[in-house]
Chain A
Amino acid sequence: MNAPADPVLDIRNLTKKFGEFTALDNLTLSLRRGQILGFIGPNGAGKTTTIKILVGAMRPTSGAATIAGADCVRDARRIKRLVGYMPDSFGAYDNMRVREYLDFFGAAFGIPRGARAKRIDEVLETTGSGWMQDRYVEALSHGMRQRIGVARTLLHDPEMLILDEPANGLDPQARIEMRDLLLKLAGIGKTLIVTSHILPELSRICDVVAIITQGKLRAFGTLDQIMRDLRQKRTFEVQLCGPAEVETAAAAVREALEPGEREGVKAHATESLVRFDTARSDSELAAILAALVGRRIDVSQFREIPKDLEDAFLSVTRREAPAA
């Protein structure tokens, strides 16, 4: 049994090439037990390739990946017991009720019949899907299917769950329920890798985030760490008491900034505010505020606009775009 501090997932220099094309380039990252990793990147970035290597469906060209000490290539059978994988397609079978569907996958993992029935009850309870156990799988809505998909991955009680786009296509209510479910799973000690294009959702639940583009890991760490790493300029807003002094305030801010930053100063008379981006230090920003007050401009707020995962993602992808 790994100690909680030990990495459950350890990826080292993972590379996958298809002929001349490099789908995954020297990926290295690790994840501790109970953490949720948000794995994000544009389409074709290499997320699914990484996941397929982790679940043993693909062999890396070089590098290694271990889950709870089991090598993803050499210990493929052990990996299947350690990992619960939910692909982006559900994999419905016709004429099968939800309970029969879960029973089949439980049997496929070799869970004895008695224990299986109990386990099915447990996973249905965990995912809040007990009421749909007699429904036909093909008749489930998308949100219901996602829940059953998660229930299916939990059947054999794996250490790690890999969920490919679990919130994709869900309505707001179902998305909130899915978010709560994932947090609940992390709470009971499961380690999760979650890919999603809905970045605000990921930022709310992830302990760590990995941003990958063109097969390369561009950023990895907590959201705060990533923001700090990516942050070259911060965005500030000066909220004024009225629109009359907006232009005066904008001029004062321009004067205080470096010539290269002056073009970024925007005056919004309708909102009575001035917005600008700068790389200046906090003490220099204090000087700007002092200059505004010194000119008797009525400043009601001077605030930094917090950046989120979406900004980080866009920042990384835009930075890499010219290379593409």
Chain B
Amino acid sequence: MIPVLSREFRGILRSPRALAALLATAVAFSLLVLARWPAGGIVDLSGAGSRGAFLVFAAALLGGVLLLVPAFPASSIVRERNQGTLLLLFNSPISAVGLYAGKFLGVLAFAGLVLCTTLPAAAAVYAMGGVDPWQQIALLYAVLVVMAILSIAIGLLVSTRATSPDAAVRVTYGLVFAVAFLTLAPHALTRGTTGLYATIAEWLRRLSPLPVVMHLVGQGGAVGGGLLEKDAGVWQFIVGGLGLAAVLAVATILQLDHRLFDRSRDAGTITDDQSLWVRIVRRLVFLVDPQRRKAGIPMFFNPIMVKEFRTRRFGRFHWLLRLAAVCALVSLLITLAATNGTMDWGVETIGGLLVILQIGLVVLLTPSLAAGLIASERERGGWSLLQSTTLSGWRIASGKLASVAWTMLLVLAATLPGYLVMTTIKPTMWNQVMLALVSVLLAVAMTLALSAAIGAFHSRTAAATVTVYVVLMILYLGPLVIWAFRGDPFGEQVVRGALSITPLGAALSVIGMPGFTQYELIPIAWRIAGTICVASLIVYALQVWRLLRPE
């Protein structure tokens, strides 16, 4: 175990992103304390300033854990397997438990190191007064360590099952965000009800660190209109999180053996060569049979765009149809649950939830598709092949962007039935819905352009995906955190400014989501999104042109 731990920990420390993470954390938290430190010799006896600082400190720390930790375990095992070193470890006396423990503790040690860099800031917050060192600060760190442990356990399990590091990173981030945010959704929909569903929803909510952290900073009811109410269950989260991590660890260890390599090559079965009976059955079962021999790429289609669709597992048409169907179903279920619930949600809240669902899909799916557009080609040797073809830089760049844009538009189109129900209930909202949809479309354009531009500067897909996720999470969640603490410590102007950065705030505002109605964010949010979008597209195009140029 020790050699694996040592190598894992050192390997992480040697990576530039680890250094960047450590430096960024240390600098950010130092600045935070500096910003909130009493100035002019005036001491805040009420402790309000200190609590405000603690609140921002805790939110930033939770964000840091959610954004930084999953990337490392996610690529840990799959990269070793692809490089062939996992087989060497299997042939060494190190047991599966030792191997897992080494990797787990290696990443945990790094997470601990990141948390340690924030201790001086925590001490400064304590020194400002008004914050309990045990009931608040120590418990906050305990919660964050549990979340880190859970993230690592999820990452290692995904890494064992994945076939490429970038896929592992995508799935891990998706699952970690699902644990942190999605687990709150069923509770939101069943609030005020009793019975089995409500109980399950309540237990699911206990897995999210958000209510716990908000409770610890004394803002239990601040976010989500009571969603994160005061009965947060700190110990339930700690026990539940550790229990889930233990289950995931056992599941991972059970898979760490020769079976990881005991897989035959795909024989490439094709429906066209099957018997007539099989062909008939598959024709009935599949709307679009993934195993049918494809026709050639039509001349008027951009070959890069078609290639991008075909090389994505979820880009194949049968998967896109499934994805669209799930989105449509979720959208309708949200509307149904909201309209049939015991509480009067109001059409505006349903609209707000739909906007959050759409933007959530945009932020989760777009980086996974767009961050690796160029990086994956460079990583796998495809770029030099593209260079040797007669395709122009414009066709390569536009084909890649179009492949993501069409996918996202299809997914978003599938969420539209929810709006249809809304406008049927309240036809006067038609204009608001239109403005919200324009905001969502701008969010797609901005996220896509930004992801593509950032990803184009990387030569590894996993690194590109992580960077893009971190940037987008800061961009989209940062303003929401600031909005959540509106009034104290953030003033009206700060909240308005923060919400203007992305079209999310504008969409929520225009749809009339409670808590957002007082902000006039259109057209400023659209202008900012448009500017970021255009600037990102220019940067992306320049980078593609630079990479295609002869050295």
Contact = CB atoms under 8 A, between A and B. Distances in A.
Interface stretch (B150-158, B277-285, B381-389): B381-389
A73 B266 CA distance: 42
Given A59-B551, A104-B306, A87 B311 contact: no
Contacts of B296: 103, 106-107, 113, 116-117
A152 B386 CA distance: 12
Interface string B294-328: 11111101011011001111001000000000000
B551 A57 contact: yes
B389 A56 contact: no
A100 B294 CA distance: 7
Interface stretch (A37-45, A78-86, A230-238, A301-309): A78-86
A57 B310 contact: no
B135 interface: no
Nearest to A117: B296
A4 interface: no
Given A134-B268, A134-B293, A83 B381 contact: no
Nearest to A59: B550
Nearest to A98: B268
Chain B CB within 10 Å, residue with most, of A59, A91, A107, A117: A107
B117 interface: no
B382 A91 contact: yes
B550 A56 contact: yes
Contact of B381 (A87, A104, A107, A139): A87
B388 A55 contact: yes
A80 B551 contact: no
Contacts of A92: 380-381
Interface in B373-396: 380-382, 384-391
A16 to B, nearest CB: 9
Contact of A104 (B297, B380, B551): B297
Chain B CB within 10 Å, residue with most, of A58, A106, A113, A141: A113
B200 interface: no
A139 B386 CA distance: 21
A104 B307 contact: yes
B267 interface: yes
A95 interface: yes
Contacts of B269: 134
Chain B CB within 10 Å, residue with most, of A56, A91, A108, A110: A108
Contacts of B136: none
A52 interface: yes
Contact of B550 (A58, A97, A141): A58
Nearest to A80: B390
Interface string B255-296: 000000000011111100100000000000000000001111
Given A58-B551, A96-B311, A134 B303 contact: no
A105 B310 CA distance: 13
A99 B268 CA distance: 11
8 closest A-B pairs by beta carbon, nearest first, are: A89-B381, A107-B303, A135-B268, A91-B381, A108-B389, A139-B265, A107-B297, A134-B268
Given A56-B388, A104-B297, A105-B385, 10 more contacts: A59-B551, A85-B384, A89-B380, A93-B380, A94-B164, A95-B313, A99-B294, A103-B294, A104-B307, A108-B390
12 contacts: A55-B388, A57-B550, A59-B550, A76-B550, A85-B384, A94-B163, A94-B164, A103-B296, A107-B301, A112-B299, A135-B265, A135-B267
